[in-house]
A and B are shown apart, each in its own frame.
Chain A
Amino acid sequence: MTTSTTGMSEITVHPARPSPATSNAKKAGMVRKSNRPNYNHIHRNLLPIETYPLPTLIPHNPLSILAIALSYLAHVLRPPTRTTYNGYFSSATSSIHITDEATQRALWEMGFFGRGNLSRSEPTWFENQKQVGVTAEENTNKRRTERRQFKLDRAKVEQQEIAEQMIKEVLGSRKIPRSVSEELQALIQQDKVAREPEKRENGHALPPPAINIPKERPALPPGTIEGFDEWKKTLDVTGLPTPPPTSTCSESCQPGTRPKKLQRQKTVRFSPTTEAREFDLSSPITVPIKAPCKTPDEEVKVVVKLEPVIENKEHLQLSMEEAFFLAYSLGVLNISSEHDSVPFGITSLLALFRRHSYSPPRSLSVAPQPDDPFLLSYAVYHHYRSQGWVVRSGIKFGVDYLLYNRGPAFSHAEFAVIVLPSYTDDHWSGIEKEERLTKTKK
């Protein structure tokens, strides 16, 4: 399995185990290194259903026929209980939320259903919060940072070339006093000299950013990060994921130092004392407070005393098509409403989903239409799922669905699907005529 260098990859790397590129090469024939998770094993079940194959038939041996008959009877008379999962329908978000961890893992591993609320696809937010090691998101961020730095350097070089070119043109075209031309030439020389050390610096690989910088445009001061070494030491000592030293106030804490810009890991809280407030379990959200600047040691002391318990704010969210497939076609999901745990019946579920496929959801008084968006998208989803494709949402690529051979963990999507309904049935021309008649009457 290879990881792509662009940010558009759908491949998920298990966060707990960093993946050196060499482990794949050694795999053939040798003992597998424990760095890479074994996706073939994790995703061995293609759908969350259990199958019980009958024993093999040996035509010349009558006992095999007996074995088959007995096992068949056993299944008929005492069918094995089916594993079912529970989720609830949240009308505010028009989707199904799965909050149970075991169910989340099961649904994700067996068929790639759903999406972690606060992650790229696999629900990894909680694990990312707990550890500051190498996670999948950090890998991606590192690549993105490198790409941004490369673009910036390229822009710098281009600008300098433009400036030089302009100066040369000025020198060459017009007649200018000698002193000015000498100055300009000196400038060009200076530029060249100035560029050399820069080139040398950029010649090495990027000074490895001590903290991986998330998202768009990081602000990394040249050189090391103040306080990083102490923070690393405290991290090693205590083993607790304290946030890296940042300052949330632009007026710096120590008056002499240059104000540090916000350097944050995507996965760690930005405010140093947010951890201290996390364990107030009654409030799911913490106020983004502006913490007074503390030294890393102080922060560590606070954290050690109170032992923050991070609540898992993430859930697995199933779209309505996925949930209906699991509930209706496979029969493994029980969907209840958010207020109680009585599961919906299939017909009421269908009506509910049809209404909620509009934004804002339609009320009960409006009659359901044959071309409700839910029906269109579900028909397509069911079709491709029944053929064995792994179907995922395609909003990140501007399409309706993405089709994977085995799943996002194995390869990129083979196809992207856009659904275009064709209103060619006579029913629609009939409706159009009616509407035209009513309009002309008015």
Chain B
Amino acid sequence: MSTPRNSSSSTPEDPTLSGLHQFIQDNRPPRDATHEAHAHKLALQVAHNLRFQHGWTEIRLHYHPSRQQATAHSLPRPVISGLPPQRLYMHPDEQIEVLQRQREQGKAGWPEVAPEREWVVPSQLQESWTLRRFGDVFDALSAVPAEKEGGRLHFANAIQLDGDEGLEMMGNRSGSGAGSPFNSTPEREGTVTSNGNGHAPNKWRTGQPKRVLLATLDDDSTVVYYIVHDGIVKPRQN
């Protein structure tokens, strides 16, 4: 409101809350999550940014470690997993393979690669990350979020974000339909859409060190994303 204010005049109305604010208010953490509220809010902000600025789909919040390949017994902070609109990272050897395949098929232009689900670890600019913290995070995550094999597509605590309802309710609802880890068929219909390879995970994903996206949030709502690997990887050409 850019109208000049006099001291004696009208009472201004309550501020209209922004979309992000309402989003944070609408999504309360589930009761069994042990993380503090601050980490949860950080994760929600990053998820909001992913969804609206970058167009990610199928965004889920995880509060517990992965069922497969996780050696830690707790997740130090809520972690997001989602599907980016395009592939984010291609290993240089994979690129060679893809180009070779493309050449055999005689095509030109951009190769057809399916986007892969990625982990996103939210953090704040003030935080200092040590190797131990990174190690804890990597220990608690699997190589590929929500794998397609064996029906373990959804973790029972991974909840899809919805605007109206709190996370707990969504968790229950999706748990009955598609969230149960033991019920494979409905999940497959629901989520196989994202993986163009069908049900076999990409060998470049499982053979290489795990990777996450470290999302760092600043006070003025800038989020910068960095790819972090759990070990040494062959560098890509600039």
A–B complex contacts, Cβ < 8 Å, 25 sampled = A92-B21, A93-B221, A95-B221, A102-B2, A119-B53, A155-B95, A155-B96, A194-B106, A215-B85, A215-B86, A217-B113, A220-B109, A220-B110, A251-B193, A264-B55, A266-B54, A266-B55, A284-B22, A285-B23, A287-B163, A288-B59, A313-B18, A341-B11, A361-B38, A395-B218
Quick check: A283 and B163 within 8 Å, CB to CB? yes
Q: Does A62 contact B (CB under 8 A)?
A: no
Q: Does B183 contact A (CB under 8 A)?
A: no
Q: Does B45 contact A (CB under 8 A)?
A: yes
Given contacts A81-B5, A219-B112, A262-B85, contact A115 B222 (CB under 8 A): yes
Quick check: A217 and B224 within 8 Å, CB to CB? no
B residues in contact with A213, CB < 8 Å: 86
Q: Does B201 contact A (CB under 8 A)?
A: no
B interface list, Cβ under 8 A from A: 1-6, 11-24, 26, 36, 38, 41, 45, 49, 51-55, 57-59, 84-90, 95-96, 99-100, 102-103, 106-115, 124-127, 160-164, 190, 192-196, 216, 218-222, 224, 237
What is the distance, in angstroms, from A227's C-beta to the closest C-beta of chain B? 17
B residues in contact with A3, CB < 8 Å: none
Quick check: B26 and A284 within 8 Å, CB to CB? yes
Chain A residue nearest in CB terms to B56: A288
Chain A residue nearest in CB terms to B220: A319
Query: How many residue pairs at the A-B interface have CB separations less than 8 Å?
Result: 242
User: Quick one: which of B58, B126, B216, B224 contacts A288, CB cutoff 8 A?
Assistant: B58
Given contacts A159-B96, A262-B85, A359-B124, contact A215 B163 (CB under 8 A): no
Given contacts A88-B15, A194-B103, A317-B221, contact A338 B59 (CB under 8 A): no
Quick check: B51 and A81 within 8 Å, CB to CB? no
Quick check: A319 and B219 within 8 Å, CB to CB? yes
Quick check: B163 and A285 within 8 Å, CB to CB? yes
Distance between Cα atoms of A81 and B237 in the complex (Å): 59
Quick check: B53 and A118 within 8 Å, CB to CB? yes
Chain A residue nearest in CB terms to B25: A92
B residues in contact with A319, CB < 8 Å: 218-220
Majority-rule SS of A interface residues? loop
9 interchain residue pairs of minimum CB distance:
A285-B163, A81-B4, A313-B19, A315-B18, A283-B163, A360-B38, A222-B109, A88-B15, A359-B126
A residues in contact with B109, CB < 8 Å: 149, 207, 220-223
A 370-414 contacts with B by CB, 8 A:
373, 393, 395-396
Q: Does A250 contact B (CB under 8 A)?
A: yes
A 308-324 contacts with B by CB, 8 A:
311-315, 317-320, 322
A residues in contact with B100, CB < 8 Å: 159
A residues in contact with B110, CB < 8 Å: 148-149, 152, 217-222
B residues in contact with A286, CB < 8 Å: 163
Distance between Cα atoms of A117 and B195 in the complex (Å): 30
B residues in contact with A261, CB < 8 Å: 112-114, 196
